[in-house]
Structure 1
């Protein structure tokens, strides 16, 4: 599984954007707590490759990320776009 994230939500000024901060926190938490993840951050685009996405611990965290980001997108759909 691969997750690619780029850009800013532009909900508010840079540094005080709750949508961007929420998504960044969720993604950072997931990447930091999953095992066997390859991460690159180039030119403002973060790519996380989960090499063992079916491991139960990783699957649980990735499902939680998907659910929470989906809720974030439903509340702030004008500022965040997701594709599964």
Structure 2
């Protein structure tokens, strides 16, 4: 796997995990599709706000944990910042 993508995958699993699967026997690929999307967004020069908005959208609308228009959580903010850092470090 591409190192940057693997780091994003681990980041989502370890630090974002909105549905709490990393403490279960759930397969580690639960958030892989989101990691691939983040990777693509970062490669396309997405801004931090775009990354953050994507994470909030996934959590609140796609997964359905909240209401449309809910604000970002601390986990969303931290993961957006760390995703940007991972991308910068891989350049």
TM-score scaled by length of structure 2: 0.41
TM-score scaled by length of structure 1: 0.44
Q: Which has the higher helix share?
A: 2
Q: Which has the higher strand share?
A: 1
